[in-house]
Every structure is written in C-alpha cells, then in structure tokens.
Amino acid sequence: AKKQGRNNYQWFDPKLDESTSRTLKIRHALKAGIEHKQFELHYQPQFDLANNEIIGCEALVRWNHPTMGMISPVEFISIAEDTGQIVTLGRWILRRACKDFAELRNRMLSDATVSVNISAIQLLRQEFVGDVETALKESKLPARCLVLEMTESVLVESPQLVSRKLSELEDLGVHVALDDFGTGYSSLSYLKDLAVDWVKIDRSFIQELTHDSQNAAITERIISMAHHLKLQVLAEGVETSAQRDYLRRANCDAMQGFLMAKPMPKPALIEFINDYQAD
C-alpha cells in the first residue's frame, strides 16, 4: 500500500508500515525543502553513438535533506506530484537547468542540449509554456538547446491539450523527447502527428538487449520505425560495451548510461568534459 491513491486508502490500512510513515515524512519535509533550497541538479552526459561526441546532458534532481540524507527522485517526485508541489519544484528545476547550461554549453558543441524532465502536471498547467519562455529569456539560453522530456502517459491522458502544448513549444524552438519509451502504451503511430523530436528507449529494454532476442527485436523495431517518422532515438541505461555495440549496429542515434558516465554535479561535469576525448 505504498501508492498514494486519490482516496488515501492507506489511512485505513491496519499495517501502517514503515514505507507509509516515510512517505508522510517526505511529504512534510518537501515544503521546507523547497523553501530552503535543499535540492540540486546533477547532469548526466549523452553521447552520439556514431562518433562518441558529447551531444548534451540530462538534468536529474537530487534532494540532500539535512537529517534524512540523500533522497532519491524515485521516492519524492511522485509525492511532489500528489501534493502539487511539483509545480514549484519543477519551475525551479527548469530555471536552474537553463542557467547552468547557459554556462556549460560553450564547453560543448554549439548545438549541445540540456534535457529537463517535465511532469504531466507541469505540462498541463496553463502557465507552462510561459514558464519555459521565461526560463530561456532569463538564462539567455537559445531555445534549440533545451529538450523537455515527458513520458508517453501524458499523451494518452489528454491527447488534444498535449498536442496543442507541443506545437506551442515547437513554435518557441525547444525540442521534446518522449521518455521511458516502450514501457507504456507505446504506439509510435500517434507520434507522427505530434511535435516530438526524440524517443528515449527505456533502460529495461537496453538491459536485456544482449540476452533476450525478443527484446532486441522490439528495440530494433522502435529504432527503425522512429527513423521513418523522422525521430531520433536515444538509448538510456547503457551499462556494457556489448549493449553499446549492439545499439550502434542497430543505427541508434545516441546513448546515455553508466558505461560512459553517471549523473554528476556541475563542477564534475566540467572536469569530465575537459578530460573527455571522443576519438
């Protein structure tokens, strides 16, 4: 009973277990966390599979709580979504990522990008596109350097509204990536009418790539269909050189994963970029 249902059924669960009290603790701590800026962004580099160049990085939020220590976004993002606090937190993440990357990008290729995860709740808010515009203006980051990552569930839930939002974002010049692709309702067919630029194949497919031929077949299909639709494909969670070689042969465009680099604070990323040789 970890999931926070709409009707809060866990209140009536006789086993008010450890995970529930932790959820409550996090829920309470979020407000102060946001007020006192206990969050920071780490950045994981992304690579072109053909030439190994760094093509950008993904911003991943971290919460360093004064007493609970590091709390994973896997734990607190869904809670922040439940309470609506993701709106404030998400706005901060977007602004910080744009600001950081405006400084970072002159160390990279001129069209390198920063990818920012966006919750459905944020995207569906009326002021979202305006928030993106503000973040770009404030940071002077060119719009083409920003990629917004969202999961496919949002497309299924409110297709018309989302379709309109995506065209507005396209008009701004920012790019959109569909995150965790393959895990949900995955139909590439409805992507053809949407202003989406990238598909990110979920780590669960990449993990099995070199062991499970069915998984490999699905991955290859996703790549070739995406290319037909003029979408680029990034594989996430690449951990072995066998996986990387497979993806390269399958014509996947880009990759991200522990094989190349873990998410890291901005100063470490600068060091990584300085030491990195694509060859």
The footprint of ligand C2E (CB under 6 A) covers: 44, 59-61, 72-74, 77, 90, 93, 117, 119, 179-180, 236-239, 256-258, 263
Binding mask 179-198 for Ca ion (x = CB under 5 A): xx------------------
Closer Cβ to ligand C2E, 33 or 263, answer by number: 263
Nearer CB in complex with ligand C2E: 93/112 = 93
Binders in 195-254 for Ca ion, by CB under 5 A: 236
Q: For residue 112, what are its two tokens?
A: 């390198």
CA torsion sign for 84, 89, 93, 94 is: positive
Q: Which does 46 bind (CB under 5 to 8 A by kind): ligand C2E, Ca ion, none?
A: none
- Smallest separation, CB 263 to ligand C2E (Å): 5
Locate tokens 């809060």: which residue? 8
DSSP-assigned letter for residue 193: G
Q: Which of 278, 219, 226 is nearest to 46 (CA)?
A: 278
CA distance 149 to 119: 9
149 part of the interface to Ca ion, by CB under 5 A: yes
Q: Which is nearer to ligand C2E, 148 or 226 (CB)?
A: 148
Name the minimum Å distance from CB 266 to ligand C2E: 14
**C-alpha neighbours within 13 Å on the C-beta side of residue 249:** 10
Nearer to ligand C2E, 33 or 237 (CB): 237
The item of Ca ion, ligand C2E, none sharing an interface with residue 119, based on CB under 5 to 8 Å by kind, is ligand C2E
SS3 4: coil
The distance of closest approach from Cβ of residue 16 to ligand C2E in the complex, given in angstroms and rounded to an integer, is 26
77 versus 268: smaller Cβ distance to ligand C2E: 77
* Residue 278 interacting entry, from Ca ion, ligand C2E, none, C-beta within 5 to 8 Å by type: none
Cβ proximity to Ca ion, 79 vs 116, nearer residue: 116
Residue 212's alpha-carbon distances to 68, 172, 208, 215, in angstroms, are: 39, 41, 5, 5
Cβ–Cβ < 8 Å for 63, 76: yes
Cα–Cα distances (Å) from 54 to 108, 109, 273, 276, in that order, read: 7, 8, 8, 9
Interface with Ca ion (CB under 5 A), residue from 4, 23, 117, 122: 117
Least distance from ligand C2E to the Cβ atom of residue 246, Å: 15
The per-type count for the chain, helices as H runs and strands as E runs, is 11, 9
Do residues 190 and 155 lie in contact, with contact meaning Cβ atoms separated by under 8 Å? Answer: yes
Least distance in angstroms from the C-beta of 63 to Ca ion: 17
With a CB cutoff of 8 Å and minimum separation 6, the contacts of 88 are: 34
| Residue 185 or 258 with smaller CB distance to ligand C2E | 258
Which DSSP category does 257 fall into?
S
Q: Site residues (CB under 5 A) for Ca ion?
A: 117, 149, 179-180, 236
